[in-house]
Amino acid sequence: MRGRRGVLMWMLVALLSCLPACRRESAEDALRERIADLERAVQARDAGELRGFLADDFVGNDGMDREDAVRLAQISFLRYRRVGVVLGPLQVELHERRATVRGSAMLTGGAGALPGSAQAYDVVTGWRLEDGEWRLVSAEWEPRL
């Protein structure tokens, strides 16, 4: 009897220790993490990695497609030695396998410690869950000033 109780106790401890690791990440948490990864890719000036966030059918302002967005990033990364992005609070609206994210973004670029150029934008993005990963399918931005 004593041996069974000890085995059951160890099984219970093992099961309970697995629960935090087994907890599934919510769709909103996964999307917010994906947005943070996108922010890091921009700050790392990595246009190749940026391409991986964009859906094949991405569309931005003025009909910008996926390749146009990557080229714009490449040009910006060439123009500015330092690129920064700071996101304001994000409002996430989930619609099953799609999401809309609204917020603000401050983009900076410059050669030294101080930004040579900075602009705040109001941003609305559309996201789609593809093969378990959130992809950016649309982005609209408007200068705040």
Residue 7 in domain: no
Tell me if 5 is assigned to some domain.
Answer: no
Within a domain: 37: yes
Whether 70 maps to a domain, the answer reads yes
Nearby residues of 120 by Cβ (< 8 Å), 6 or more positions away: 104, 105, 106, 143, 144, 145
8: pLDDT strictly greater than 90: no
Range of the domain at 95: 26-143
pLDDT-derived band at 86 (thresholds 50, 70, 90) equals confident
Nearest to 80 by CA among 39, 51, 113: 113
pLDDT digits (tens, 9 = 90+) for 36-58: 999 999 888 899 999 999 999 99
Instruction: Go through 46-60 and write b for each residue having 16 or more CB atoms within 10 A of its CB, e for each that does not.
Output: ebeebeebbbeebbb
Q: Is 15 inside a domain boundary?
A: no
* Number of domains forming the structure of the chain: 1
Does residue 47 form part of some domain? yes
* Structural domain contains residue 87: yes
Question: Which pTM does this prediction carry?
Answer: 0.77
**What phi and psi values does residue 44 have, to the nearest 5 degrees?**
-85, -5
Contact of 137 with 126, CB cutoff 8 Å: yes
Could you tell me if 53 and 64 are in contact, meaning their C-beta atoms sit under 8 angstroms apart? no
Q: What span, in angstroms and rounded, lies between the C-alpha atoms of 21 and 116?
A: 44
pLDDT at 111 (0 to 100) = 59
Residue 18 forms part of a structural domain: no
Q: pLDDT tens, 100-131?
A: 999 999 888 765 544 557 789 999 999 999 99
Q: What is the CATH number of the domain that holds 76?
A: 3.10.450.50
